[in-house]
Structure formats: structure tokens, C-alpha cells
A and B are shown apart, each in its own frame.
Chain A
Amino acid sequence: MNYIIETKMLSKQYGNKYSVKQLDLRVPVGSVYGFLGPNGAGKTTSMKMVLGLIKPTEGNVRILGKQLCEKNRITILKNTGSLIESPSYYGHLTGGENLEIVRILKNVSKSEIGNVLKIVRLEEEQHKKVKNYSLGMKQRLGLAVALIGRPKLLLLDEPTNGLDPAGIQEMRELIKSLPQKYGMTVMVSSHLLSEVDQMATNVGIIDNGELIFQDNLSLLHQQASKKIHIRTLDQVKAFEVLNQNAIKYKVEQENIVLPILAEIEVANIVSLLVENGIGITRVIEKQKSLEEIFISLTGKQVSL
């Protein structure tokens, strides 16, 4: 089993509008899978469908190698933990009592409560009623609930929402450490590119309900690698010269774009163009930011 979550043509339609369309997610075992997309892109709906909270219009979900259906849903989900949208809690009960309820339902030992409280650093607040918790503490309690029983798979929907900067950093470090420390696979959604960049090993980008990119984060970074941009006074003639000399290039915004080359190679190409009477106006080394890549993929601005 290479993928802990695998969806095939997963779709959800409300009326005439697709919230999620033909989603083929592949979350590798042991990865931190960043599920990135602008607000309203379909991240939460997708995660809810993965958990069987929403019935898909079409398509199917495989978790831990088993196809999810109503009959085996709970058995499969015993190996998962989730925090979807906002944390779920009983405000009139203490943090410890909330965890006790989940512990009983998950049928795990009592010591597990102490363990997860320690992981999320809520030990001192466990006797306080949850309605008196700050948003950050509720979020951490939500994570503790998800962690009970050391599930193999963790689905976290925007887990840093409502946290202060220190809390955000703490949460990111914690999520990053989960695969190594506890052998978990984490699928974490975010609308923040920088956040996914800091936590994830793999990334899926969703926009308007459709998956537009999915691979290693390093592959996304490759797209951000440095390029040489050349602008000339006669681009058409420049293309001809480069073609005649079998020099590979791309055209972006009327610029000739070359992969990163050795200094001498750049000098040779510039000389070649000049010798053919083409005036050079600019030779620039450019690197696309992840945000630019995201915009080029989605056509939308994202938060950084």
C-alpha cells in the first residue's frame, strides 16, 4: 500500500454546481500532505467525503487500502483522527472529561488521555471547563481528540485557524513531527501557501473543486527554480536563431526563457544573438516564488 488515502473521481454536486469535481487524491503513507487551496475551493468538502461525513455524488474513497462504504466506515475510521473546520467539544465539560468521552468511544486505555494532553501541552488546563478555554486551547484540545489512540491517519482541516503566531509555529512543528515520532500520516488543509511549504512533504492544490497539482513539494519547488529571461529588439528573429542552433527555450510573457546555464553558455547565446544582428535589451536571472506558481496554477491570489 503506497497511498493511505486514494480517491477516484470523487465529486460532490450541490444543485448544478460542483463543490468538488473528479478528485483523484493520493496521499502517500508517512507523508505530511498539504492540501492547499483558496477559501471555498472544496478542501473541507473533500475531507468530509474522505471521512464519510458527506456522501459523494460520485466516485469512491480508499483508506488504508480498503474501499470506504457505510458498512466498514467506522471500522476503517477507528484508525483515523480528525479535526474538521472547528474543534468539536462539550463546553460544559472539562478538557479531561471531553477526552474521556472520546477515549471510551475509541476503546483505548485511560493512560492515553495523559499522553495526548502532554503532546498538545494541555495538562495544566485539563480540569478547566472547555467553555472557558481560549480559541487556541480549544484548537489544541481538538488536536488531542484527534490524536487519541495514536491513529495511523490524521486529517486536520486548517488546524492553525485562530491560533496566535507562537501557537501557529508550535502547531506546525507538532504536525511535522508526527510522522517521525508516531508513524502517522497527516493530511492537513490550509489556504496559506507558506504554511504548507513549512509543514508538508507532499502537496495537493485544489481550486474550484478540481485538483490542479499533486506531487512532492520538491517538484513544486522545481517549478520555482531559477531561469534566464532574455528580451530582444526582434523576438521573432531571435526564436529563429535559437531554433536553428537547437537551443531549447520557452516563451513567457514575450521573453525567451532558458533554463539555468553556465556563465559561458549564457555568454555564447548572447553573442550568437548579437552576431545575427539582434539587439539585446535585457538578460535577467529570475526565480518564481511559490506564490507565483500558485497564481499561475489557480489564477488566484493567496495569503502568504
Chain B
Amino acid sequence: MKLLTTEIKKTRYRKIWLLLLVPLAIQGIWMLFITSHTNQAQLNMGYSNLLYFMSTMNVIIIPIVMAMLASRLCDIENKGNTLKLLYTLEEKGKVFDYKLILGSIYILGFTILQMICIKLVGGIFKFTQMLETHMWIEFIVSTFTVSVILFLIHQILSFQFKNQVACLTVGIGGTFFGLFSMFFPAPFPYFIIWGYYSILSGFRFRNVPAGVMKVYEIPYKTEALFFLAVLGIIIYLVGKKLFLRREV
């Protein structure tokens, strides 16, 4: 617990919440904008629409946010040469783990706020569709899992490279890669973590006559979530090994 306390104390003046609230505000404004331009038929499927579009938007926005979040949390250790001090006070592995735990707490908060935004927009526009429990649970679980793994990748990079350009470049590259992965044939998209926001979305869309886009629900891809979790564990083990091996 003391390590988590110190991790929180270290984030003072770092404006971490601002880093998360700005993209959230953009997503909120965007949701209000598209919902205000939808017809009654689409409003009847309001939550399905928002959950689908939010997943797609997450592919574009979150990889960069995760890169910035990881960089913001880890770079303080690089800048101040603090690892050699921390390693005399705590086990090396714990330093890595608690950074990941703190990142995960921020991500969980961010994901819940996203869900609250969706619910608020639904209330403002009086969606007739019910937000079923499985819908929001699937959204939170998917968004949280993918984001934590992306954070982990960037955490590893932030610790490995003192210059944070590497971390941010991968973040930006990941956004494009994630978007393009939607058009790759199976099974390739399953190996591209940045695209999982879309893969794990419980909704898809198809164009119906008159150019109208229709969102429909699909069974949740539990096997994809499981595969992602396996990838996450492998990345964690490799990343931690690299971290422990690094001499300070």
C-alpha cells in the first residue's frame, strides 16, 4: 500500500486527470453532436450506436492517450534518476508493478467516466433503448483490458528509452495500425492490440438502403478477450524481465 501511496504522491502537479479529461470531453462533445443529428429510428437504438461509435473512436484516441499517460507517469523516474534510489528501498519488480497498478486505476476511472458520458447523452436525448447490464459491462471490461495492455506496452517503452519520443511514436503508430487492422483478413487483426477496441465491441454496422447506417448487436467475443489476456500476460512477463534486467 505504501508504494501505491508514494506513486500517487509522485503524480502531484502532473495534471494526469487533465490528460484524461480532455479526450473525454472531446468524446462527449462528439457524442452530443452525432446524437443531435440522428433520426428517431436511430435514437431507438441510441445506446447501441453510441457504444459502437465510442469503440471506434477509442481506436483513434486511446492509444495516444495511453502513450502520454505512461510517459507522464514513468518519465519522472528517468528524469530524476530515481530508479537507483527506489531499488534500494523496494524490490525492483514492485516498482514496475505499482506503476502499472496506478495506470490501471486511472484507466478504470477513465473507462467508467466514458460509460457515464454515454448514459448522460442517453438521458439528454431520451433514448428509448434500454442500456442493458451486459452492454455496459462488456464495454467497460473491453475498454479497460485493451487500455491497460496498451498502457503496459508504453510503460515498458518509457522505462527502456529515456527519450519519450519512442513511446509517443508507438502510440501514434498504434492508432493508425489499429484502424487499418479493421480491414485486415482474420486472424491478423487478433495480433494487433490497438484494434481490439473494435474487435471486442459487441456491435457492428451495415449500410442499409438509402445510405443509412444500421448498428446491430453481435455475440460478445469472449474468446478474443481471452486471447488478448494471454497476449497481455506475455507482454507483462517480457516487459518485466526487461525491466529487471536493466542496470541503473
Which residues of A are interface residues toward B (Cβ below 8 A)? Answer: 48, 51-55, 73-74, 77, 80, 82, 84-93, 97, 100-102, 104-107, 130, 145
Contact = CB atoms under 8 A, between A and B. Distances in A.
A73 B93 CA distance: 13
Nearest to A55: B247
Q: Is the interface of B mostly helix, strand, loop or mixed?
A: helix
B33 to A, nearest CB: 36
B85 interface: yes
A107 B6 CA distance: 12
Given A89-B80, A90-B82, A91-B79, A101 B88 contact: no
B221 interface: no
A168 B83 CA distance: 26
Contacts of B89: 74, 77, 102, 105-106
Contacts of B133: none
B88 A80 contact: yes
B21 interface: no
A92 B88 contact: no
Contacts of A97: 9, 12
Contacts of B84: 48, 53, 84-85, 88
A54 B246 CA distance: 9
Interface in B62-97: 76, 79-91
B10 interface: yes
Interface string B1-41: 01101100110111000000000000000000000000000
25 contacts: A48-B84, A53-B88, A53-B247, A53-B248, A55-B247, A74-B90, A74-B91, A77-B89, A82-B88, A88-B81, A88-B83, A88-B85, A89-B82, A90-B10, A90-B80, A91-B76, A92-B12, A93-B9, A93-B10, A97-B9, A97-B12, A100-B9, A104-B5, A104-B6, A145-B85
A89 B83 CA distance: 10
Contacts of B82: 88-90
A-B pairs with lowest CB-CB distance, top 5: A88-B85, A105-B89, A88-B82, A101-B6, A89-B80
A53 B87 contact: yes
Given A53-B88, A88-B84, 9 more contacts: A86-B81, A88-B82, A90-B80, A91-B79, A92-B14, A93-B13, A101-B6, A101-B10, A104-B5
B81 to A, nearest CB: 5
Given A104-B6, A105-B6, A51 B88 contact: yes
Contact of A102 (B3, B80, B83, B85): B85
A252 to B, nearest CB: 43
B247 A105 contact: no
Contacts of A88: 80-86
A90 B5 CA distance: 15
Nearest to B85: A88
B14 A105 contact: no
Contacts of A105: 2-3, 6, 86, 89-90
Interface centre among A54, A86, A92 (most CB of B within 10 A): A92
Nearest to A89: B80
